[in-house]
Every structure is written in structure tokens, then in C-alpha cells.
Amino acid sequence: MKKRRTVKDEIKSLNIQTKKIRKKKQVPWKWVITITALAFFISFGFSFASETVIPNVPTVFGVILVFAFISIGILFDMIGVAVASADEKPFHSMNSRKVKGADVAVKFKKNAAKVSTFCNDVIGDICGVISGSAGAIIAVSLSELIPLDRFFITLLVMAIISALTIGGKAMGKNFAMNKSNLILFEFARFISYFYKPKK
């Protein structure tokens, strides 16, 4: 009579399978080092821009810059989700018909994990951090114009930035999953003006 497998047996089997998969997949150290260095330099550049520009421009322009950072973060988050969830087959068909940008879309889809990491984690997260620090500078400027406690103004500005970022990304993710192929194609077509994948 065949012995009935228990929950513990199933978990043990899953753990063994997971270990086998981990052994097969090596950590791509070159990519990790590259993306870390890239994140450092992009973050440094964005931070430098926000710290030097925002304190020296009118508050209205500072607010516009913060909205720009939030919008960039949401846009790249959408692109990252779209690349991860898009279907690769239509782009192979378009590539065979020499449709502009289709070859880039195929390249992005084949490297979906890397593209998503760059879009979501590098650009998206950096924009979130920068918009927060820029918001703190704006809060100081607003406290000089509005007769309210600086602490309250800072909390209010940070809450608004967080709400807009989270709400925008939630809407963007939903749209990106529904229109993933279209977003990937439009993004790839734009990138194709500056980049040609190796064949």
C-alpha cells in the first residue's frame, strides 16, 4: 500500500527542489555591481540637481520639480511592470516584418528582470527618495510664507508626496498590466532612436 504524503513531506520536497534551482542559478555579480554603480551616479546627479536648484528657485518652480520627479518615478514604474508582464511573441512577429523598435522590445523582454530592476528599483526608487528630500526643502520655504508651524507643514508636504507617489504607482501598475504590450512597444520604439541591439 502506497504511503500517503504528509504536509511535512511536501514541504521537504519543495525545499529540496528550491535548493537545486538555487544551485543552478548563480548570482550575476557583474550585473549587480553595474546596477549598484549606476544607481549611485544617477542618485548623486539627481540629488545634486535637487539640492542646488530647488533652494534657489521660487517655491512654485520647486513644487513643479517635485511633481516632475514623482511623474518620472511613476512612468518608469509603469515601464518596468509592462516589460515584466508583456507577451514576447507579437514582438518577434513585428521584428520579422522590420517594424521599428520591435528588435529593442524583444531585447528588453529577454532581459525583463534587468530592465525591471533598472526602471522600478533604480529610477523609480531614486525619484521617490529625491522627491522626499526636495519636499523637505519646499516645506522650509513654505514655512516662511505660511504662518503655520514648520513641523506641521513638513508632515503635510511629505504626506502629500507619499500619497501622490503611492496612488500614482497603483494606478500606473494597473494600466501597465492591461496595456503592457503597447507600453513596451512605445518605449522600445523611442529607445530605438538611440540604441540598436546587437544581432
Cell 549611485, residue located = 40
Gap between the Cα atoms of 115 and 173, Å rounded: 16
Q: pLDDT tens, 141-167?
A: 888 888 888 888 889 999 999 999 999
pTM: 0.80
Residue range 50-68: mean pLDDT, rounded: 85
196 pLDDT tier (thresholds 50, 70, 90): confident
| Sign, CA torsion 166/167/170/176 | negative
Residue (of 133, 129, 111) closest to 35 by Cα position:
111
Please tell me the predicted confidence (pLDDT) of residue 24. Answer: 53
